[in-house]
A and B are shown apart, each in its own frame.
Chain A
C-alpha cells in the first residue's frame, strides 16, 4: 500500500504537469491571434518539455497500475472490463496526443495558420481530458460493486455517478498548482528576455496557482458532499487525521510560498522552497484521503490477505536492490543533464 501511494504520487506530479500544461497551451492557442503567444517563456518551456514529461508520466504510471492490481484486483479489473472499449480508446488518444506534442515542439508551430495553432493544442488537451475522465470513471465504478451487474446488463457506454464530475474537477483544478510549482523552477533568467519578464511570468504562475487551489478546494468540497455517509466518516476518521494535517499544512505552505513569489517575483528562494515542500505534502494527503474513501466503500476484508501475500512474495529484495541501484543511476543522469543544460528551441 505504501509503495502504491508513493508511486501514485510520483505519477500524479507528472500527470498534473501534462494535464494543466496542455490546458494552458490550449488556451494560448485559442487566444493568441499571432504566433507570439507560442514564444512566451512559459510556452517555450511547455512546448519543449511536454513530450518528455508525458513519457515520464506514462513510465511512472506503470508502477501504480501494477500495485493497484495487487491490492484491488477484482475491483480494478471489473471496472476496466465494464468500461471495455472506452478504456482501450485511451491508447490511440494518447498516441495521437503524444505525436501532436512533437508537432507543438517543432519550430514550425508558431508559423502555422491560426486555426491549426488553435486546433492542435485543443486536440491534445481533449485527448488528455478524455483520459482523465475515463480514469475517474473507472475508479468510481470500481468502488461501486453494487452497480456492476446493472452496468454490464445495460451495456452502457459510460457509467453515471454523481461522484465522477466533482472528482474529475478536483483533479483537473488540482493539477494547476503542480504545473505552477514545476514551472517556477523552470522559468530561469536564461529562459527570459529580461528580469522583468521573469517576474511577470512568476507572478502569473502565482495567480494561476491560487486560482487552481481555490477551484480545487471548491470541487473537493463538492466531491466530499457527493460521498456516501460511510465514506465521509472515513475521510474524517481519527486514523486519517495526521494526513489531513499533512494536506492542510501542504496547502498552507503553498499559499504562503506563492505570496512570497507574488511579492518578490520569484527571486526569493524561500518562496520556491515553500511551494515545493507544500505541493507533495498536499498530493500525499489527497492520495491518502482517496484511498480511505476507496477502503470505506470496498471494505478491507479482501485487502489484508492480498497485502500480506504481496509483501511476502519472492523478488522483493531484488526489487529493493535494483530500485536503489537504478535510482542512483537516474540521479547520475539528472546530474549530467544539469551540467549540460540547453535553452528551449525558439
Chain B
C-alpha cells in the first residue's frame, strides 16, 4: 500500500513562514531602529548641535488677489482661538457648577450643565476642532516655511498637545453621554479631567506660539525647552486662561437666556455664572507683564509707534475694559440681570477684544515670523546675503501663471520678486496694496525705499535680492500705477541699478532690530 502523502497543514506553513521571514526581519531591522531612535534620557539637558535643514525650498505660492494673506490666517485664527478658549473656560465653569450641585445643593446647576455642555459640544467640539485643523491648512497655504520650522522644532510638543486633545474629546463625550448614569464623584472626576486636558492643550500650544515672538535663549542655544519656556510664556498663558474663563462666563449668560426657566431661576444662574468674571481684575497686571517682556521694538509699536498696532491694541483694551467694568460692577456687585441681547453684545465685545489682541500679537512680531530666525516672507537672515548675490527668483522653478499679462521681461521679473518677497503681507491693488502704499513716491524714492526697506519701515525685512530685482519691482509698481498699459518701456539705466546697489550695501543685510541689537542700543 502506498503511504498517503501528507499535505502540510496551513497552520504549520504560516508558522514556518513567520519563523523564517517575519521574526528575523523584526529582530534585525525593526527593533534596532526603534531602539536607536530613542535618545538617552540624559539628552534632555544636552542641547544638541542643530543642523537646520533650512535649504531654500521654493514652494508654489498661493495668490489671493485682493485679500491679504495675513487677513486670511488672522480670520481663521481669531475664530479658532475664540472657540477654543470658550471650550477651555467652559470646562472650568462646568466643574464649578457640578461642585455647586453636589456640595451646595444648587438644584439648577445640573439643569444648566446639560444645556451648557450641549452648546459646548455643538460649538467647540465641531467648529473648534475643525478650525483647529483649518489652522494647519491655512498656515501651510500662507507660509509653509514658517509652519515647517515650527514643526521641526516642536513636533514632540505638538504631539504631546495631541494626547491632551484626545483626552479632552474622550472625557468630554463620556461625560456628555453618560452623565445621568454616573455617580457624583465620577461626574466631578470626569469634568476635572476634561478641564485639565483642555487647559493642558492651551499650555502646550501657548509655548509654541509665544516662542515665535520671544524665543529667548533658543536664539543662541536652539534648545527647544528654552524656546518653549520663553519670556512671554507665563504671562500669555495666564492671560489666555483669564480670557478663556471670561468667554465661557459670557457664553453661559447667553445659554442661560435660552433655557426654558422662570426669570428668577435664570437670574440666579446668571449671577453664579458671572462670578468667575472676577478674574478679569487680573488682566491689566497680566497684560502689563506681557508688554514688559516683549522686545523693545514690539513694545514701542504697541504704545504708539505703529498706528495700526496701537489702534488694535486700544480696541482690545477698550473692549476688555467695557466688559470688565460691566461684569465687576453690574453683574457681580449690583447683581444685575442681563437678557440674551445684552449677553450676546458682551460676548461680541469679547470677540472684538480677542481679535484685537491676536492681531497685535501677530503684528508685533514683524519683521519676523520667528524672531531673528525667519522673516515674515519666510527668508532667513542668513539667506538675505546669499539672495543679494544670486537673486531671489533665480532658482524659483514656478512660472508666473499670468505671464502674458505683463508687457516686458522686467515687469515679469518684478512680479516674481513680488510673489517671493512681498505677497505674504501685501497685495498689489487690494488690502495693504503696494500700489497704494508707494503710490505717491517718485521712481527714485521707490528705488531707495525698497533697497533700504528695513530703514523705510523698521517692521519690514531687508530686501533679499539683487539690484536688478529691485529695479524690476519698481518698474512693476510704476506699470501698475500707470494702469497696466499694453506696452511699457521699463528701465535699462545702468546708473539706476548702480545707485540701487549702493543703497543695498548701505542698508546691509540685517533688519533694524538686529542692527540695533548688534550696536548694543537694544537688547534682543
Contacts and interface: CB of A to CB of B under 8 A. Distances in A.
Interface of A: 2-3, 52, 55-56, 58-63, 65-67, 69-70, 73-74, 77-78, 80-82, 84, 87-88, 90-91, 94-95, 98-99, 102, 148-149, 152-153, 155, 239, 241-242, 245-246, 249, 305-319, 322-323, 325-327, 329-330, 333-334, 336-337, 340-342
Contact of A312 (B43, B129, B398): B43
A69 B398 contact: no
Nearest to A84: B62
Interface in B376-397: 397
B170 A334 contact: yes
Contacts of B34: 2
Interface stretch (B141-149, B406-414, B431-439, B494-502): B141-149
B423 interface: no
B397 A149 contact: yes
B53 A329 contact: no
Which of B126, B137, B144 has the most CB atoms of chain A within a 10 A radius of its CB? B126
Interface string B30-59: 000010011101011000100101000101
B193 A77 contact: no
A315 B167 contact: no
30 contacts: A56-B169, A66-B151, A67-B159, A70-B151, A73-B151, A80-B141, A87-B137, A94-B133, A95-B126, A95-B127, A148-B398, A149-B397, A149-B399, A152-B399, A152-B401, A241-B25, A242-B25, A246-B22, A309-B51, A311-B39, A313-B155, A315-B160, A318-B156, A318-B157, A319-B160, A323-B160, A323-B163, A325-B163, A330-B171, A336-B190
A317 B154 CA distance: 13
Contacts of A95: 126-127, 130
A70 B152 contact: yes
B224 A153 contact: no
A80 B38 CA distance: 31
B503 to A, nearest CB: 33
Chain A binding surface, main DSSP class: helix
B144 A77 contact: yes
Contacts of A337: 174, 177-178
A308 B140 CA distance: 23
Nearest to B134: A91
A190 to B, nearest CB: 14
B446 to A, nearest CB: 29
Nearest to A10: B166
A210 B43 CA distance: 51
Contacts of A334: 170, 174
Interface residues of B, number: 79
Contact of A80 (B44, B133, B137): B137
B178 A88 contact: no
Interface of B: 14, 17-18, 21-22, 25-26, 29, 34, 37-39, 41, 43-44, 48, 51, 53, 57, 59-62, 122, 125-127, 129-134, 136-138, 140-141, 144, 147-148, 151-160, 162-167, 169-171, 173-174, 177-178, 180-182, 186, 190, 193, 197, 223-225, 228, 397-399, 401
Which 4 A-B residue pairings sit nearest by Cβ, starting from the closest? A315-B156, A340-B181, A314-B224, A311-B37
B44 A55 contact: no
Nearest to B122: A102
Given A242-B21, A326-B164, A333-B193, A59 B169 contact: yes
A318 B182 CA distance: 32
A153 B134 contact: no
Given A77-B148, A102-B122, 4 more contacts: A81-B144, A313-B156, A319-B160, A333-B171
Contacts, number: 213
A287 B151 CA distance: 23
Contacts of B129: 55, 58-59
A342 B181 contact: yes
A66 B152 CA distance: 10
Contact of A336 (B131, B138, B186): B186
A61 B133 CA distance: 9
Contacts of A56: 169
B515 to A, nearest CB: 31
Contacts of B132: 62
A342 B129 CA distance: 26
A87 to B, nearest CB: 6
Contacts of A312: 39, 43, 48
Given A152-B398, A309-B152, A316 B21 contact: no
Nearest to A325: B163
A142 to B, nearest CB: 12
B76 to A, nearest CB: 9
Contacts of A65: 133, 136
A327 to B, nearest CB: 8
A316 B153 CA distance: 11
A269 to B, nearest CB: 20
Contacts of B156: 313-316, 318-319
B162 A63 contact: yes
